[in-house]
Amino acid sequence: MVWAILGIVIGIIIGFAINFPIPLELTKYSAVVIMGILDALFGAIRAEVTKDQFNAIIFITGLLFNIILSIAITLLGDKLGLELYLAATFVFTFRIFSNVGITRRAILQNILESEKGKES
């Protein structure tokens, strides 16, 4: 988990340091890929915080699946003349908010249980 966050932070720093313009035709693809990556990342954070079984293989395969699926949906939408990337963006955004809510609730519950233990 720590390595995944460290890798993402290093990637963001490198991304800001390198001035690489993205062609206008590829911005939809970039957006859905980023949302897919964020979905996998927040899912991993939720699994870690809620004491679910975090598995690096599941994280990597979920990340790759999100990327491939989001690109395929966007490409299909381009071929059909539809803005299907919006559907992928909507679903990923919903899942991100869901994972963040579950994570927030679990952290708050841990804090409250810790405070309750100190009072006893």
Summarize pLDDT for 39-77 with one digit per residue, the tens: 988 988 898 888 877 788 888 998 999 899 999 999 999
pLDDT(6) > 90: no
Summarize pLDDT for 13-23 with one digit per residue, the tens: 998 898 878 88
pLDDT at 12: 83
* Helix pair angle (85-119, 27-49), 10° resolution: 20
> For the CA atoms of the chain, what is the radius of gyration?
18
Summarize pLDDT for 78-87 with one digit per residue, the tens: 999 999 999 9
Nearest to 69 by CA among 104, 48, 40, 106: 40
First to last CA, the chain: 33
